[in-house]
Structure 1
Amino acid sequence: MEKAAGRKKWKIEGLSLGKASANVGLPAEELLEIAGEGCPPLPRKDLLQLASACGIDPSALTTAAPPWNVRGLGRPAKCTDIKAALAAASPSIICLQETKLTDISIFKAYSFLPPACRSFLFVPSDGASGGILTAWNDSDWDCILLARSSSFISYSFSSTFSSLSFCVTNVYGPCEHSEKQGFLDGLAALEPSVPGPWAILGDFNLTMRPSDRSNANFNHAEVASFAGWSNSLHLQEIPLLGRAFTWSSQQTAPTLVRLDRAFVNIDWSGLFPNSTLSFLPHSTTTFSSVVLFANLFIMFGTTLGPAISPAASPASSIVA
């Protein structure tokens, strides 16, 4: 029996663990992905029994309890949607924000990351708030972690095919007003460690101008701080094409806000002078992704947040 058919038969007909394992040869990551798709998810003791029956060392599964029921990326249906959207875009670097996951095992990551991007690092959420993940294709990029905090992850990427290198900082800004200036100061402190082209992208939880909101609830002090940060680093904001807002309160009369942005430094602008920012089509209303197009092919988007993808083509995009 083919693996896919066996999995479907097991889930739909409720086959016993023994029969399922006899019919379906599963690698560990697929086993855990399937285990989390049930409603309710497969109990852990049954998961370990199934692992043993499939020839997988159960000790390899005991170090982490996948947070299947957490909001954000905790729901299997959303993970499936996001994985499909990212796979269709074929990214080689992915930046996600607001994962709402306090822990991400390799098996959980495989439930929402496309097969090519299986190297990743994450910042855990604070309960059901926040959470950041950056993933990449290690066949395309050598990656060095530059800095990590509760609000951002910063990397240096070097192409495995050429001399191309650049830095990307994936951000999810704090919601509390009292924490926003510290967040911006932390980003500014990264500049000395950035060796060349630099993109800072994601959900900043800040607005830049009155037109970023659909109502008059506008914080002029925050805007001044945000603009001062951008100016002090000599950053250029990449214009967003095709849409004015990136977040909705999803109410009958919704509040609409532009929270997702991409900034680049002078070196990036010199290397990729025609960079643009636009929305990536996706299949779920909860996954709002934008794509930064440069000369190589990078992407960045949101959940949640951004994703980056350099391909072998001469264009580049980042999803956030």
Structure 2
Amino acid sequence: MVLEVGGIFSNKISMKLSIVSWNVRGLNCSKKRSMIKNILLTWNADVVCFQETKVEGDITDIVREVWGSRWVKYVQLEASGTKWGIVIMWDKRDWEGVISSEGMYSVSCSFTGRSQDFSWNMTGVYAPNDRMEREETWGEIGATRSLIPGPWVLCGDFNTVRYPSEKKNCRRINKAMIDFLISLKTWKWVTSDHSPLLLQSGEWEKTNSYFKFENWWLKTEGFNERVKTWWESFNYSGKPDFILVAKLKALKGKLKEWSKTTQGNLGMQKQVVLAQLAELEEIQDHRILK
């Protein structure tokens, strides 16, 4: 998948904006939707664009399930049977979104911040594998861009790349790459070969690492029992307030150690879930998931 940024990085902006683009290769499997939801919660993105949803008809329930909140709004380019499909989702408390254009292979949305004076545009694309249809896609993208003023993000799966280095096990340039590069050569790119991609713009200050209790730990299997075992294992003597402070300090140390394990570290959990999704997609290549 590729993200094209027009205008949004050309000048320094004071607000933060976080966008996820992801070819999910189908949203028909409930187990897969649950995994996707967990990963999206770790990113806390402003706007999410899925390609290849492979879902026809009303997808409101599916969108609410993967977003994890009733505050979600979305626009959709409906799939054709079990092929294609694009959905752009956002939190309506933060952004007012309006569909601005819809084509055969793309859908565009204009966004305005509800609490800040900032507007921008997004186009989600899924290009077919057929060469002629891909060329139609490039023309559609160009026509869409000519109608959109201001900052613009183009995200999607183009089913080709510009250079061999952007695709695994690709060693030479082919005709599809040349056509793609010529059509869209003037734009700035961020690329990812069939993995979810997170784009952040604005001023994201690096903060020092410090211990923080995560509420989601309470939902982790066996967490309460583990904390109880640790607490009862601490043995201190002295005044009650001293004992309490000492045990809390010891508990903090235990939690810091545990937070570095797969079960307590959200980043590590995300990598595990992504690996599981890759396995599901491998299965999906051979049969329909139910």
TM bucket (normalised to shorter chain) is 0.5 to 0.7
1:1-320 equivalent positions in 2, closer than 5 A: 72-115=26-69, 118-216=72-170, 218=172, 220-231=174-185, 234-238=186-190, 240=191, 246-247=193-194, 281=270, 283-285=273-275, 287=277
The alpha carbon displacement at 1:113 in A equals 1.9
**Partner AA of 1:195 in structure 2:** P
C-alpha separation between the residues in 2 aligned to 1:287 and 1:115? 22
The one-letter code sitting in structure 1 at the alignment partner of 2:164 is P
CA spacing shift, 1:110–1:260, aligned 2, 3 Å:
closer
Q: Are the equivalent residues in 2 in contact too, given 1:210–1:216 (CA < 8 A)?
A: yes
Contact 2:53 2:87 in 1 (8 A): yes
Q: Which runs of 5+ in 2 are unaligned?
A: 1-24, 205-266, 282-290
Q: Tell me how far apart the structure 1 counterparts of residues 34 and 110 of structure 2 sit (CA, whole Å).
A: 29
Q: Secondary structure at the match of 2:274?
A: coil
Preserved contact between residue 156 and residue 168 of structure 1 (Cα < 8 Å): yes
Deviation at 1:221, TM superposition (A): 1.9
Contact 2:164/2:172, CA 8 A, preserved across alignment? yes
Conserved? CA contact 2:75–2:88, under 8 Å: yes
Indicate conservation of the 8 Å contact 1:204/1:261, yes or no. Answer: no
Partner Cα separation in structure 2 for residue 90 and residue 218 of structure 1: 38
Task: Please give the TM-score of this superposition, normalised by the length of structure 2.
Answer: 0.58
Q: 1:188 to 1:74 in 2, by over 3 A?
A: same
User: Quick one: structure 1 residues 285 and 116, their matched pair in 2 at CA, closer, same or farther if it must change by over 3 Å?
Assistant: farther
Q: Which has the larger radius of gyration?
A: 2
d(CA) in 2 for partners of 1:187, 1:262: 21
Q: TM-score, normalised by structure 1?
A: 0.53
Distance in 1 separating the partners of 2:56 and 2:156: 19
**Offset of residue 190 of structure 1:** 0.9
- Residues 98 and 129 in structure 1, CA contact (< 8 A), matched pair in contact too: yes
Q: Distance in 2 between matches of 1:222 and 1:117?
A: 40
Q: 1:213 to 1:200 in 2, by over 3 A?
A: same
Higher helix share: 2
In 2, Cα distance between equivalents of 1:163 and 1:199? 18
Native 8 Å contact 2:165 2:171 kept in 1: no
